């Protein structure tokens, strides 16, 4: 089906089902209960999950397959956002042209930056991409203020031309939508104590993520993907066989830049503002973390990593010391303060610390990331089942 093997279909289906039911899966606690703060099923965060999922999937095509570690991928995210917002300002509030332009411009920038950076490999390549990303950030922040809005970010205004939409009728700025369906519209489904958010923007991004995911499976399984893997395993040998690796790496770089542009365009479609911070080097570092945490070179890993990091950033960081005190209120006073002071550095503002420790643990004990953790667990179960016919367990391959 769809030109995929059975195993890949299964992964695609898992991702599709997760995406479809995310509003329910992410809201396991009734609203109003003390646990409700762990609910992640509100539109903004769900949109972030899938958008950063796309970003990480794209990054994985470059890093996971060719092994080229780009440290400047956030530049394409930012370029995508700026192009999309300009499209909203000039052409129409429909998200399709905006996303199309975001993908095209980021692709062009990726072609240019890749053409120069890919002359080197390894650490030199990483530094070059980092330099380019910081350059675009600095340009967007100050020199190009008329185009990018500088520190304030690029915003929509009432008197934007919006050629296709005609003159704006109301006195409020229109919101992005797709043929009249507003991205921000959201219907809440109440079932007893539970409230579920079914957001248009989320499902729109979700569908695009599924398409992006499908495309990435096809790339992984194609001869082109095989060639990229060959570059990762031994580029020198490839050169000796008379093959020029540059066009392949450049194509991979461009594709992954376009994925980042797509994610940037979607971010602007969900929230029509583009800020320069999106291109800062920490944003580039974040996608590297996502990919490695989830499992570089695996299909589903980057999506999991993106979800995990965004969850921690938005949920764990919100827990302040007052909330902690209510959690541990059952303990005697002195002990309560002690426990809170021990736990506090790791959550709230200190969530980066927890992330760092987790990242270290994953890299040291699970080099394959979360995907490897999943495989180990499933292998334990499989071994129990098929202990006699142990032939099969030896052929377990990484779920690439």
Partner 1 sequence: MSKSNLTRRGLLKTSAVAGAGVALPTIFTASSAAAYTNEPTGSTVTLGFNVPQSGPYADEGADELRAYELAVEHLNGEGDGGMMGTFSSKALQGNGILGKKVEFVTGDTQTKSDAARASAKSMIEKDGAVMITGGSSSGVAVAVQALCQEAGIIFMSGLTHSNDTTGKDKRANGFRHFFNSYMSGAALAPVLEKMYGSDRKAYHLTADYNWGYTTEEAIKSSTEAMGWETVNTVKTPLTQTDFSSYIAPVLQSGADVLVLNHYGGNMVNSLTNAVQFGLRDKEVNGKNFEIVVPLYSRLMAKGAGANVKGIFGSTNWHWSLTDEGSKAFVKSFGTKYGFPPSQAAHTCYVQTMLYADAVQRAGSFAPCAVAEALEGFEFDGLGNGPTLYRAEDHQCFKDVLVVKGKENPTSEFDLLEIVEVTPAEQVTYAPDHPQFAGGALGNCNNGA
Of 394, 299, 340, 361, the residue nearest 57 (C-alpha)? 299
Q: Give, in order, the Cα–Cα distances in Å from 6 to each of 34, 152, 168, 209, 220.
A: 43, 49, 50, 20, 15
The pair of structure tokens assigned to 212 is: 């992006």
Q: How far is the CB of 335 from partner 1 (least distance, A)?
A: 25
Residue from 9, 116, 211, 357 binding partner 1 (CB under 8 A): 9
Whether 348 contacts 271, CB under 8 Å: no
CB 172, min distance to partner 1, A: 5
d(CA 237, CA 362): 31
Binder of partner 1 out of 108, 165, 203, 359 (CB under 8 A): 203
Of 275 and 294, which CB lies nearer to partner 1 in the complex structure? Answer: 275
Shortest CB 275 distance to partner 1, Å: 4
Q: Give pairs for 37-42: CB < 8 Å, separation 24+.
A: 37/315, 37/318, 37/319, 37/323, 38/315, 40/311, 40/314, 40/315, 41/196, 41/197, 42/197
With respect to partner 1, which residue has the nearer C-beta, 53 or 297? Answer: 53
Q: Answer yes or no whether residue 277 interacts with partner 1 by CB under 8 A.
A: yes
Q: Does 45 bind partner 1 (CB under 8 A)?
A: yes
Q: How far apart are CA 317 and CA 377, in angstroms?
A: 29
DSSP-derived letter for residue 350 is G
State how far the Cα of 302 lies from the Cα of 94, in Å rounded to an integer: 29
Residue 342: count other Cβ atoms within 10 Å of its Cβ.
9
Residues 349-388 that bind partner 1 (CB under 8 A): 349
* CA distances from residue 221 to 217, 261, 395 in whole angstroms, order as listed: 6, 23, 19
Shortest reach from residue 78's CB to partner 1, in Å? 10
Tell me if 57 sits within 8 A of 291, measured CB to CB: no
Query: What is the radius of gyration, based on Cα positions, of the chain?
Result: 23
**Interaction mask 79-118, partner 1, x per CB under 8 A:** ----------------------------------------
* Residues in 183-202 at the binding interface with partner 1, rule: CB under 8 A: 184, 186-190, 195, 197-198
| Number of shown-chain residues binding partner 1 (CB under 8 A) | 53
Residue pair 330/89 in contact by the 8 Å Cβ criterion: no
Taking the least distance from each CB to partner 1, the nearer of 1 and 167 is 1
Nearer to partner 1, 31 or 116 (CB): 31
- Contacts to partner 1 from residues 127-166, by CB under 8 A: 138, 141-142, 145, 150-153, 155-159
| The only residue of 11, 43, 59, 129 in contact with partner 1, by rule CB under 8 A | 43
Which range touches partner 1 (CB under 8 A), out of 43-51, 85-93, 109-117, 296-304? Answer: 43-51
| Near partner 1 by CB under 8 A: residue from 273, 316, 331, 366 | 273
Contacting partner 1 (CB under 8 A), which of 59, 76, 269, 271? Answer: 271
CB contact at 8 A, 56 and 291 = yes
Backbone conformation region of residue 2, classed left if phi is above 0, alpha if psi is from -120 to 50, else beta: left
Strands 194-199 and 273-274: unpaired
Distance CA(175)–CA(275), nearest Å, equals: 18
Cβ-based nearer residue to partner 1, 104 or 323: 323
CB of 46 to partner 1, least distance (A): 10
| Least gap, CB of 228 to partner 1 (angstroms) | 29
Residue among 38 and 328 whose Cβ is closer to partner 1: 38
In the list 278, 289, 298, 299, the residue contacting partner 1 (rule: CB under 8 A) is 278
| Least distance CB 398 / partner 1 (angstroms) | 22
Distance CA 62, CA 55 (A): 11
Q: Which two tokens stand for residue 316?
A: 């764990």
Binding site for partner 1 (CB under 8 A): 1, 6, 9-10, 13, 16-17, 20-21, 39, 42-45, 48, 138, 141-142, 145, 150-153, 155-159, 170-173, 175, 184, 186-190, 195, 197-198, 203, 271, 273, 275, 277-278, 314, 317-318, 320, 349
């Amino acid at each position: 089906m769809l030109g995929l093997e059975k195993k890949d279909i299964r992964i695609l289906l898992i991702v599709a089902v997760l995406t479809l039911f995310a509003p329910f899966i992410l809201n396991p606690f009734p609203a109003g209960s003390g646990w409700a703060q762990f609910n992640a099923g509100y539109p903004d965060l769900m949109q972030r999950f899938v958008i950063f999922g796309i970003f990480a999937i794209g990054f994985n095509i470059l890093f996971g397959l060719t092994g080229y570690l780009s440290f400047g991928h956030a530049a394409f995210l930012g370029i995508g956002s700026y192009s999309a917002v300009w499209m909203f300002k000039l052409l129409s509030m429909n998200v399709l042209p905006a996303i199309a332009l975001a993908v095209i411009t980021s692709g062009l920038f990726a072609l240019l930056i890749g053409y120069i950076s890919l002359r080197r490999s390894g650490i030199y390549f990483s530094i070059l991409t980092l330099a380019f990303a910081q350059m675009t950030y600095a340009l967007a922040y100050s020199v190009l203020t008329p185009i990018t809005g500088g520190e304030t970010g690029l915003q929509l205004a009432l008197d934007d031309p919006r050629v296709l939409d005609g003159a704006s009728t109301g006195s409020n700025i229109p919101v992005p939508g797709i043929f009249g369906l507003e991205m921000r519209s959201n219907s809440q489904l109440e079932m007893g104590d539970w409230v579920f958010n079914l957001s248009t923007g989320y499902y729109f991004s979700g569908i695009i993520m599924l398409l992006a995911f499908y495309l990435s499976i096809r790339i992984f399984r194609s001869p082109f993907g095989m060639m990229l893997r060959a570059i990762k395993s031994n580029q020198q040998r490839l050169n000796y066989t008379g093959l020029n690796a540059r066009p392949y790496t450049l194509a991979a770089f461009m594709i992954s830049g376009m994925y980042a542009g797509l994610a940037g365009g979607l971010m602007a479609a969900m929230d029509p503002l583009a800020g320069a911070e999106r291109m800062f080097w920490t944003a580039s570092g974040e996608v590297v973390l996502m990919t490695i945490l989830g499992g570089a070179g695996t299909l589903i890993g980057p999506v999991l990593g993106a979800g995990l990091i965004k969850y921690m950033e938005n949920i764990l960081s919100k827990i302040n010391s007052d909330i902690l005190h209510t959690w541990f209120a059952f303990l005697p006073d002195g002990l309560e303060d002690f426990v809170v002071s021990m736990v506090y550095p790791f959550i709230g503002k200190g969530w980066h610390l927890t992330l760092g420790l987790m990242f270290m643990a994953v890299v040291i004990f699970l080099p394959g990331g979360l995907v490897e953790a999943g495989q180990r667990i499933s292998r334990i179960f499989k071994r129990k089942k098929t202990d006699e016919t142990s032939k099969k367990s030896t052929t377990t391959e990484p779920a690439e």
